[in-house]
Amino acid sequence: MFLTPSNMAHYLLARGTLTPATVVNGDFMVVEAGRRNRNFKIIHRNGSGLFIKQIKDMEAMSISTMQREAACYRMALQEGYHGLAQLMPRMIDHDADRHCLTIDLLPSGENLTEFHQRRHSFPVEIGKMLGVSLGTYHQTLRGKPLRAEDLANFPRTAPWILSFHQTSLMGGNTLSGGVQQLGAIIRQYPDLQNNLMRLARQWQYDSIIHGDMKWDNCVVYPDAEGKLNLRIIDWELVDYGDASWDIGAILQAYLTAWIFSMPLVQENSPEKYVSKAAYQLETMQPAIHAFWRSYTETAGIGKAQANAYLLRCIEYGAARMVQTAFEILYYSNTMTAHAATLLQVSQNILLNPRQAATALYGFPQELSS
């Protein structure tokens, strides 16, 4: 049974997540919000509601990631996982037979991509909020021995993008033209390949990680007093892995926003358009520094360890930037100027992460040395 707006009330009544009185009074509205999945918002008059996600295709991978996400929500309810639970919306229901997940709808929520675009700024308080949130759950879960039944829910593998240059050849015509060109370009740069393979070898297993941390998955919403709260959504790629992957993903999100704000065209060098970017790095750096400072303080990373860990996170962020290029090329027939620039910046960061820490992220030289 696939969910639609017309059968949604019957489904929710049967699952007990919607009351007969709510249906009789007409106190709900169904809004389709589909992307990769069949997504629906159930909105009540007071602004509260439900968010329902159902997989589109009954493929093994889609079923697996839905089960993994549901397992993470259940695990967050256990004692000792308070830091993780604070970061997630509340799970209402998991229908394993129909591959549906129902969580609380965050009232008046918007993801950070939308938030930053609307504000046309990068508030320090958002960076700090991200650092505290990720630092809390990494600190709680870093090095925590998981029960065997919990570990069984996670594949415990390094990110696929670290070996993409090897596996993309096997994709054949199932990959878009843009993605095929991405793989071909990576294979032309031995240094980039070697750095990706090095990061795969250095991958650690020290924490529960989100696995797909990006601004689209970070939602801010006001509480009753108007104070902003933050929740992380879409835990389909949650895993037991390297906490620096999540941190690097946030760091590269700022650089990605900067690059995408440049009016690039394929024929010209990106350097020509740096000054024309709608967002300038200097306006982002205070939020980046607030994120890093609040993360290390909350996660309990001492000053003696912070410098080396910063460089580690920056490197994994550069690898995550290659994945961002893959994502924007997924439906593209050809390489785009912005994807090519992401790949070039990633290559440059991995060649000299210390220089990137200063030149791109604005950290003082003594911090990155």
What pLDDT is attached to residue 24? 84
Which has more confidence, 35 or 188? 188
Rounded CA gap, 369 and 354, in Å?
7
Rounded CA gap, 253 and 250, in Å?
5
What pLDDT is attached to residue 33? 84
Domain boundaries, the chain: 8-104, 110-359
What pLDDT is attached to residue 170? 56
Which tokens is 250 given? Answer: 């946030």
Cβ(337)–Cβ(264) under 8 Å?
A: yes
Which has more confidence, 71 or 37? 71
DSSP state for residue 113 in the 8-state scheme: H
Q: What secondary structure does DSSP assign to 192-245, as a single string?
A: HHHHHHHHHHT----EEE-SS--GGGEEEEE-TTS-EEEEE---TT-EEE-HHH
Kindly report, residue by residue over 60-89, the tens digit of the pLDDT.
889 999 999 999 999 999 888 888 898 999
CATH code for residues 110-359: 3.90.1200.10
**What is the average per-residue pLDDT within 34-43?**
86
Cβ(256)–Cβ(113) under 8 Å?
A: no
How big is the chain, counted in residues? 369
Residue 262 has pLDDT above 70, yes or no: yes
What pLDDT is attached to residue 167? 76
Residue 272 has pLDDT above 80, yes or no: no
**What is the average per-residue pLDDT within 300-312?**
93
What pLDDT is attached to residue 267? 57
**CATH architecture for residues 8-104:** 2-Layer Sandwich (3.30)
Kindly report, residue by residue over 326-349, the tens digit of the pLDDT.
999 999 999 999 999 999 999 999
Residue 181 main-chain phi, psi, to 5 deg: -65, -35
